[in-house]
Homo-oligomer: A and B are copies of this chain.
Amino acid sequence: MALRSFASQAYFVKPYKHTQLNKPVFSVPFSVLKCHAYPIKTSFPLEDVIESQQFNRDLLNGIFEVAQDMEAIERDASSPGSSMLKGYLMATLFYEPSTRTRLSFESAMKRLGGEVLTTENAREFSSAAKGETLEDTIRTVEGYSDIIVLRHFEGGAAKRAAATAKIPVINAGDGPGQHPTQALLDVYTIKREIGRLDGIKLGLVGDLANGRTVRSLAYLIAMYPDIKIYFVSPDVVKMKDDIKDYLTTSGVEWEESADLLEVASKCDVVYQTRIQKERFGERIDLYEAARGKYIVDTKVLNVMQKHAVVMHPLPRLDEITVEVDNDPRGAYFRQAKNGLYVRMALLKLLLLGW
């Protein structure tokens, strides 16, 4: 994962995109946007959502304000906001299945009155099997829809799709690459749960070597001041040097620790992740050792502060025990729900602007 500054991402800005959109911006319901800190008249600066590096603090804050508006819209199907995207068609083009992510995007589109075209198995079933390039598929699908949500098995696929498409593309995960909406919902959840992003103490636990989510989260949270990050992971899946170097360069304090209880007692957020069996190949012994090492259970809860929360990108196996579910500090299902609000916000912003 190359880490580049937001300013260098000019290639995502294709000014012709919106003018070629199928739909006129025929009824932008500005009324649903309450008084925002983020300037209203500015059009949304992104044409596509491809990687975490596209975002800066101001942009994140603006998106999060819209996401919070979405909570009210989702709760009230008779609100005008809930037909904001009426007449818009989203294509979910999934080259590998990811039911959770797909349903979250499709729910987001439908909660705003939009419609959806779905393909969950584009890799096996579509023309891809006959050798069609992703670019050709995108040029066809963009003729049938107004926005494309792409899940792909190859890193960089989303960027290629966005470079081709005349309509907005959202990256819903491209292989070992990026999954930016997951990163956004993680940061949004911290803000909603803790009430702020400045000065957060964050414990990243579990598989830090392979976890796309913890890497992206570390990248994004580094934009905020006075962050402290603790890495707690089995030796075989330690956080890699590129992120550590990036944090150091960005002025973020970090340390590694083998003591989950001590870390948990200090943190605002304990972000647990699943040890991914599929990464260990035949070394099941290493997997089993890594898997059982750091479990978030009532012992961990007991040392955590009252205001602190446990997060997890899900699915969860047994790295968080089910007792934690009943504690108000278990925030992972609220976190999944926040994915809905963040995706509603992005769909709104990419199709209608601020």
Which residues from chain A sit less than 8 Å from chain B, CB to CB?
22-24, 26-27, 74-78, 82, 86-89, 91, 97, 99-100, 102-104, 106-107, 110-111, 115, 117-122, 124-127, 130-132, 136-137, 139-141, 143-145, 274, 314-317, 333, 336-337, 340
In the assembled complex, the CB of A295 is this many whole angstroms from the nearest CB of chain B, namely: 15
B336 touches A143 (CB 8 A): yes
Q: How far is the CB of A280 from chain B (nearest CB, A)?
A: 14
> Which residue of chain B lies nearest to A83 when distances are taken between CB atoms in the complex?
B87
Contacts of A333 in B (CB 8 A): 139-140, 143
- Flag if B22 contacts A141 (CB, 8 Å): no
| CB within 8 Å for A100 and B126 given contacts A140-B314, A145-B107 | yes
Q: Is the CB of A106 within 8 A of B100?
A: no
Do residues B143 and A340 form an inter-chain contact, with CB atoms below 8 A? yes
Task: Tell me how far the C-beta of A153 lies from the nearest C-beta in chain B, rounded to whole angstroms.
Answer: 14
CB pairs A–B below 8 angstroms (5 shown): A26-B78, A97-B126, A99-B125, A120-B125, A144-B340
Q: Given A88-B77, A127-B99, verify A104-B314 contact (CB < 8 Å).
A: no
Complex: chain B residue closest to A26, CB-CB? B78
A131 touches B78 (CB 8 A): no
- Chain B residues positioned under 8 Å from A316 (CB to CB): 132, 136
Give the CA-CA distance A117 to B116 in the complex, in Å: 10
Could you tell me if B117 and A110 are in contact, using CB atoms closer than 8 angstroms?
yes
Shortest distance in angstroms between A115's beta carbon and chain B's nearest beta carbon? Answer: 5
B residues less than 8 Å from A26 (CB atoms) = 76-78
Closest chain B residue to A320, Cβ basis: B136
Contact, CB under 8 Å: A117 / B100: no
- By a CB distance below 8 angstroms, the chain B residues around A122 are 99
- Give A77's nearest chain B residue, CB to CB: B87
Contact, CB under 8 Å: A140 / B100: yes
A343: shortest Cβ distance to chain B, in Å?
A: 10
Instruction: Report the bound CA distance from A76 to B26 in whole Å.
Output: 8
Closest partner residue, chain B, to A317 (CB atom): B131
In the complex, the answer to whether A97 meets B78 with C-beta atoms within 8 Å is no
Contact, CB under 8 Å: B77 / A103: no
Closest-CB distance, A118 to chain B (whole angstroms)? 7
A144/B103 in contact, CB under 8 A: yes
Q: Which chain B residues lie closer than 8 Å to A127 at the CB level?
A: 99-100, 314-315
Residues from chain B with Cβ under 8 Å of A77 in the complex: 22-24, 26, 86-88
11 more CB-based (< 8 A) A-B contacts, given A26-B76, A140-B333: A27-B78, A78-B87, A82-B87, A89-B111, A106-B117, A107-B144, A110-B115, A118-B118, A127-B314, A143-B333, A143-B337
Report, nearest first, the 9 A-B pairs whose CB atoms are least far apart.
A77-B87, A132-B315, A127-B315, A97-B125, A107-B144, A99-B126, A143-B337, A26-B78, A139-B333
CB distance from A297 to the nearest CB of B (A): 16
Write out the residue numbers on chain B whose beta carbons fall within 8 Å of the beta carbon of A89: 107, 110-111
Partner of A99, one of B119, B143, B336: B119
Known A-B contacts A120-B125, A136-B314, A336-B143; A24 and B78 likewise in contact (beta carbons under 8 Å) = yes
Closest CB-CB distance, A352 to chain B, in whole Å?
12
Nearest B-chain residue to A122, judged by Cβ: B99
In the bound complex, residues from chain B placing their C-beta under 8 Å from that of A103 are 91, 117, 119, 141, 144-145
Residues in chain B near residue A340, CB distance under 8 A = 143-144
For A141, what are the chain B residues with a Cβ–Cβ distance below 8 Å? 103
